[in-house]
Amino acid sequence: MNPGKTLALALTIVAASTASTAFAAGSKDGHNMHGMDSQAPAASKHASQPVPAEIRKIDASAGKVTLKHGPIENLGMSAMTMAFPVKDRASLKNFKEGDAVAVTFDTVDGKPTVIDMQRK
């Protein structure tokens, strides 16, 4: 298969997956999810629930933590490993790499942000 056809097929699969996820989410709570990507703060209107995670890296000087986390439903994010800004930078001194934590996320200044983190 040539690269152009491979890319087209991959984009079709992603688009179909995104559409079915948005339809399922929209039908669950009665909200239209169309255009959600451009309106990230709207996603945080759902109740924030603590998400299980493992700390992979702490960058206290940048105020960021890299987490291997489960799905973040209120932000519409699937499970992955990603760096996040932390609302309370000083709290990072209470944690170390490898800690199992429960993390609450929300959108702050248009970015997914850790608003609370508790050791399990």
Query: Amino acid identity, residue 5?
Result: K
What pLDDT score was predicted for residue 88?
95
Q: What is the pLDDT of residue 51?
A: 97
Q: Calculate mean pLDDT across residues 46-59.
A: 92
Cα separation, 120 vs 118, whole angstroms: 6
- What pLDDT is attached to residue 47? 75
Q: Which residues, including other chains, have CB under 8 Å from residue 108's CB and lie 6 or more apart?
A: 85, 87, 115
Query: pTM for the whole thing?
Result: 0.62
102 and 78 assigned to the same domain: yes
In this model, does residue 40 exceed pLDDT 60?
no
Specify the pLDDT at position 48: 86
Clarify whether residues 59 and 112 are in a common domain. Answer: yes
36 pLDDT exceeds 50?
no
Do both 55 and 88 map to the same domain?
yes
Which residues constitute the domain of residue 45? 41-119
